[in-house]
Structures are given as C-alpha cells and as structure tokens.
Amino acid sequence: MAEVALAAIDLITLNMDFDTGADHEQMVARLLPRVAAQAPERPAAEHERVARWVLENLINVGSVDRGFRAVYGTFGTDGVYVRRDYDFKLVEEVPGYGAGSTSAPPTKRSTSSSAPSTRTSPAPRSPPR
C-alpha cells in the first residue's frame, strides 16, 4: 500500500496546475495499473477499490479537518525532553473547475498536494478486502 500511496502523491503532483488540483477520478484511473501490477490475479473491481482506498486515506476522509498529526520529541538545552506535535496534510481535496467554468461545481472533485497545516490524528484503517 505504501508503494501505491507514493505513486498517488507523485501522480497528483505531476497532474496539478496553478489553478486547480488533479482530477480525483483521473487519479484513481491512473493508479489502477500500479495496483494491478501488485496483484494481477485479483479482479479489476478490487484494483479500483484499493486505488480509491489509498487515495481517500491520503486525503484522510473520515476525520473532521482531514489532517494528520505526528508526535515527536526533542531535548532542550537544559536536557529536558519536550513532546511536540506536527500537524500536516498529505493530500487535500479541493473543489475542481469544470470545463470552461470559472467557479467550482460541487460535484467535481480534485486533489492537490498540501503544505503542513491543520490538527488531528488519523484513525487506524485497514485495507479493503
């Protein structure tokens, strides 16, 4: 799954432009060959479920602000250990532009890579079966 997730981040980054993100459905379609290569004996419907699962977990669908939190620690100059939170988003879902449209229709989804922000930790998830 990690390999598919890294491929998804690459695909999103390569397909973004300055005004919009990458089309959500197009990213699912472009992930299918990578998923299929890892389990060629599995049915195409399962490949699509896995591609959607990976993309939605990168977006962090299911959390309120769709962010992630990593907790780490550092030692100060006085030798005291201090825990710190690092809030970030791997991929962010934003409204996408329709063909020739200047506003974002609510039914069109696009995805973009995102800089660190927000605050929440992900719930543990299991891959689809």
Higher pLDDT, 24 or 45: 45
As a whole number, mean pLDDT of residues 11-32 equals 86
**pTM score, whole prediction:** 0.61
Q: How much of the chain is in helix, strand and coil states, percent to nearest 5? A: 35, 25, 40
Sorted by sequence, the CB contacts under 8 Å of residue 84 that are 6+ apart come out as 71, 72, 73, 74
- With beta carbons less than 8 A apart as the criterion, state whether 4 and 38 touch: yes
- With beta carbons less than 8 A apart as the criterion, state whether 31 and 11 touch: yes
Residue 46: burial class (beta carbons within 10 Å; 0-12, 13-18, 19+): middle
As a whole number, mean pLDDT of residues 80-107 equals 62
Sorted by sequence, the CB contacts under 8 Å of residue 63 that are 6+ apart come out as 120, 122, 123
Q: Which amino acid is at 16?
A: M
pLDDT for the residue numbered 105: 29
For β-strands 68-75 and 81-88, DSSP reports them as: antiparallel
Q: The tokens of 26 are what?
A: 């197009």
Q: What is the pLDDT of residues 45-54, one digit of tens each?
A: 999 999 999 9
- Bridge partners (DSSP) of residue 86 are 70
